Structure 1
Amino acid sequence: MSRRHHLLIALLLLILVPGVLSYMWRPQQTPAPTLPPHSYAKALRQAHDGLPGAARVLYQQLQRDDLQPIRRAALYAELPNYPSPQALKLARLDLEHDDPMVRRAAIASIRRLVPAAQRSLVLGPLLEDDEQSVRFAAVDALLGLDPDAIGLYFGPFQEALENYQQTLEQHQDDAKAQVHLAHLYMHEQAYEQANDALQRSLALAPEGLDALAAQVHLLEQQGQQDASRQVLAKALAIRPDSAFLQYQLGLWLTRHQQQEYALLALSRAVELEPDNSDYRYTLAVTLHQLDQVQAAQQQLETLLNHQPANRRARVLLIQYWKETGQLQNVQVLLAELEQQNPDDPALQQGL
């Protein structure tokens, strides 16, 4: 090899080696932090089980912009157990989400997060949403409020309600749709139309429990107390082991100031369906009304043992413990609540 070639090789090495070494020694850029694939499932489980830090991870997931709509909507089923200004802010942002499923889920969550008197201010604009199903979800969330509570949105509410009724009238072969239609008519005290809808539902599904419950309420609203009781009695004679019907009987008796008898029906409902949180919560409230405070506390404790995230039961049990002066138990429940959600309004208000 000639001297010239040696010089060329040496020159190339002088040029290339520093560049290679510089590349090798260059500090590697730290990739942008990403959430592990399992973080969504982990956060959802943490919120559902009421574990420490549940609110924080739930909020973090709702701040993501890469979740599929169905996953995002599932988060809103858990959010009402973790109220805070941040929770409401996140839910309000998703009232403008591109996917109607997410908007409907946010509406359902806000329905439980916001007091009735303030609900129309948040959800009123959704009565004029471009998507029909979202407008109907807003109607459902505002149903039961009086005109004063609906306020400036009463006009859009009435328009959406009428459209809702017209749409459900077109589904007379759907038993559930007809029950829902009956509730819409009952809101307006349109009792004849409500009864027609329920009769259509019962013709399609004679043993439909939701239709039977709605029929009881419809008769009560018209002052037909004996007839409403007979509907329940007839249904229970056929299905005495129906937890739902026992629960409805308990509610009926409570509405008619017969708590002692309601207690029997509610206890039977819990016995038949022990994992139903609504049944057990209502039983606890009824026990407390009858001055059976210790028994009421035990029912709420059982509920929380199975559903630690159930904020409604936790807050009520704190109140019951306070009434009996058992402050150590109060502190335990408050500490657990703070671990779940340090921004919970109950903590901020010094419950």
Structure 2
Amino acid sequence: MKKRWIYGVIIFLCLTSIGLAIDWWTALPEGEQATYVGRQTCFECHQQQAEEWKESDHDLAMNPATPKFVLGDFDNTELEHFGITSRMSREGDKYYVTTQGPDGEMSRFEVKYVIGVHPLQQYLAELERGKIQVLPVTWDTELKRWYYASPDEPFGPEDPLHWTGSAQNWNHMCAECHTTNWAKNYDIATDTHHYSFSEMRVSCEACHGPGSIHVKLANSHSLFWDRRYGYGLAKLKGEDATAQLESCAPCHSHRRHVSPGHTPLDRFHDHYALSLLEDHLYHPDGQIDEEVYVFGSFTQSKMYRKGVRCTDCHNPHSLKLKFEGNKLCTQCHLEAKYDVPGHHHHKVDSKGAACVECHMPTKTYMGVDPRRDHSLRIPRPDLSVKLGTPNACNQCHTKADETPQWAAKKVDEWYGPKRRDDPHYGEILAAGQAGNPDAERALIKLTREKEVGPIVRATAVSLLASRYDTPESRKVVERSLKSNEELVRMAALRGFEGWNPRSEAEASRVGKLLAEGLTDDSRGVRTEVARILSSLPIMPNTDSNRKALERALKDYKNNLLTDGDQSGSHMSLGILYANEGDLKKAEAEFRLAIKLAPAVAGARSNLAQLLEQQGRTQEAQELRSEEVELLARDARLLPDNALLQYRVGLLYYLLGREDEAASALEKACELEPQSADFRLMLTLLYEKQQKWEQALDSVKRLIQLQPENPTFRQIQMNLQQKANPQGK
């Protein structure tokens, strides 16, 4: 009897084990595609998370313009702005804004949607063919007033910055991050948006990914999640913080599109290219300047390198901070060491004693929206003295005698004059952006520095690639093509824009090196390699490489066509077709780019060059005459932009307006004295004008920039002969 019982238990355990093994082994078929199920399906099981999410900024990211959601005063209120008076009114449950329309006349527009809730709310109107625009008036939810988020004088309906222009187009600029499962669905032939989304708001599946597989698994009778698909959602809680950070990054970063269709199940760099620490986006030391959001800043921080993630500080559903005050920081940082006057040197419980005031200073965007810098940096007023950058100390200390020098001296008194990260990478990047020859060695060292974020290393590589044409820099750039960080590999590719091989051997070697990138595991790298290869006099050397190039170019074209409502996409397509030798398609794309954004400079220059190659000189000059007015306008608006001055100078030169060309090129060289391209063009112009003294002085400066460049020395010899033909 006892043996039977034992045998029974053994048989039961065996059958149970076999059943469990079969249950575990049984899985959904390969290739199962997850689809969106909507937040109500999620709420059925996740009620606590649903309650936290309701009324959050994600919940209120976008909603219909109904009395429930509209916060602004539409009781026939008015707001005047540079001679244009907008009137906000209401009829029943419908809201209207009367303002200057796309034709320059005053018109009434129905408010269709609202965006945001705190500290401001914006309003959307739908124009013809599915085009939705952000209306010019904004409601300040704190002070209960109407204001213009863009305070500058508008340039009129033809300008892209007008509320009816491309810069205020919701379909391209806003929708992806204010809806869930967004698709632009733009039809180029009819110039019509057939946009779609699963839900307004940033809902559950915007962060966790489409939920159909998860729901199917949750409703099954299995004891296990699926061995192929896990629990069917993005793994946001794993040991590696990457998945969670890259789930948030698409909407919380300054980036450009690489490929459409991103979900949190995908890698960030397969769909986006993160902007580097460019001087028009960030201050030289990496602090936020333009509206760059959070991710690029955070990747500079030590926290990022140590694996800290968004949900360590923020509740992922309510978005509220997990703790009030300094407790947010002392959950990791020792309170007895850091939350004391001996560290912060301010009165306890004062503003200066708050960790975030010193380590996460704010900058105000859209007039009323202060946002914290997430690079979590040590205050460095000494860099303000050296580089003119802002610092946390002088955000509060603003008296006449409380200068950056004063603040830097205080910091030295408290913590000593030495800094463990001197020279700060901001000093190195600033010198690199100026093209300072002495910065090259420091930039090379910075590319290997592990105590900075990957965005810093990538920016250093980018500067070496674009501004330092020396054997040492080329080695670093080529080595960086094999970096294990996508951002660094992408930056290195900038070194091959417009590159000309010096020999067949070099062309073959670099061609093979670039071809390796066609099979990179990052789509962003693959498509960028393909774009660059299309413009170079080298091609992949094997059938497999050629096929990889075709696939990558197809991806590149598909992405540009997805953003077919953008002039820039068609300009890029035109350049690609021109590189491929299809001049008819290239011309069509350039003309479409002009049609979509007639007030934007760029496409006319490309089309003029294309037409000139075909002998259509008169058409080319007419286009350049139109283009130069646009570029001159841009140069007046941004007088300190060296590249704009160079471009307008070059265009004046092509139009035969040499004195204007010289003035613009001189300004470009003054703004960016380390640019050999700018100085070379000015030198050649002086030569054409037979201004020998200026030409010889200019070529001397050119040789100082690149002493080993044989072309520059040949130009100098030619100029000396022309300036003194008798050898006197």
Going by fraction, where is strand more abundant, 1 or 2? 2
Contact 1:88 1:113 in 2 (8 A): no
Secondary structure at 1:209 match in 2: coil
The change in CA–CA distance for 1:74 and 1:223 in structure 2 (over 3 A counts) is same
Q: Which has the higher contact order (CA 8 A, sep 6+)?
A: 1
Aligned pair 1:269/2:664, yes or no?
Answer: yes
**Structure 2 CA distance, aligned partners of 1:323 and 1:224?**
33
1:164 corresponds, among 528, 531, 556, to 556
> Matches of residues 135-284 of structure 1 in structure 2 within 5 Å?
135-146=526-537, 150-152=540-542, 153-236=545-628, 243=645, 244-250=647-653, 252=654, 261=656, 263-264=658-659, 266-270=661-665, 273=668, 275=671, 277=675, 278-284=677-683
**Structure 1 CA distance, aligned partners of 2:500 and 2:444?**
17
> Matches of residues 3-82 of structure 1 in structure 2 within 5 Å?
36-49=421-434, 53-80=438-465, 81-82=467-468
Secondary structure at 1:284 match in 2: helix
Deviation at 1:76, TM superposition (A): 1.9
The change in CA–CA distance for 1:213 and 1:163 in structure 2 (over 3 A counts) is same
Contact 2:648 2:661 in 1 (8 A): no
**Structure 2 CA distance, aligned partners of 1:86 and 1:246?**
32
Deviation at 1:264, TM superposition (A): 4.3
Instruction: In structure 1, give the amino acid aligned to 2:578.
Output: M
Deviations 1:48-103 (A, max 9, x none): 45667533322222222333121112112331444555433332332233332211
2:490 corresponds, among 104, 125, 129, to 104
Contact 1:119 1:142 in 2 (8 A): no
Contact 2:652 2:658 in 1 (8 A): no
Q: Superposition RMSD on alpha carbons, in Å? A: 3.7
Deviation at 1:149, TM superposition (A): 5.1
The change in CA–CA distance for 1:265 and 1:311 in structure 2 (over 3 A counts) is same
Instruction: In structure 1, give the amino acid aligned to 2:512.
Output: L
2:479 corresponds, among 76, 87, 93, to 93
TM-score, normalising length: structure 2: 0.34
**Structure 2 CA distance, aligned partners of 1:114 and 1:62?**
25
Deviations 1:284-304 (A, max 9, x none): 124346765532233355679
Contact 1:246 1:268 in 2 (8 A): yes
Count residues in correspondence.
Answer: 280
**Structure 2 CA distance, aligned partners of 1:86 and 1:279?**
23
> Matches of residues 271-350 of structure 1 in structure 2 within 5 Å?
273=668, 275=671, 277=675, 278-288=677-687, 292-300=691-699, 310-311=705-706, 318-321=713-716
Contact 2:527 2:552 in 1 (8 A): yes
Secondary structure at 1:223 match in 2: coil
The change in CA–CA distance for 1:200 and 1:94 in structure 2 (over 3 A counts) is same
**Structure 2 CA distance, aligned partners of 1:220 and 1:136?**
29
**Structure 2 CA distance, aligned partners of 1:48 and 1:104?**
18
The answer to which of 65-74 and 208-217 deviates more is 65-74
Going by fraction, where is helix more abundant, 1 or 2? 1
Corresponding residue of 1:332: none
Gaps of 5+ in 2: 1-418, 636-644, 722-728
The change in CA–CA distance for 1:189 and 1:264 in structure 2 (over 3 A counts) is farther
Contact 1:178 1:198 in 2 (8 A): yes
Instruction: In structure 2, give the amino acid aligned to 1:283.
Output: L
Corresponding residue of 1:3: none
Contact 1:247 1:279 in 2 (8 A): no
**Structure 2 CA distance, aligned partners of 1:303 and 1:294?**
14
**Structure 2 CA distance, aligned partners of 1:52 and 1:145?**
27
The change in CA–CA distance for 1:209 and 1:75 in structure 2 (over 3 A counts) is same
Corresponding residue of 1:133: 524
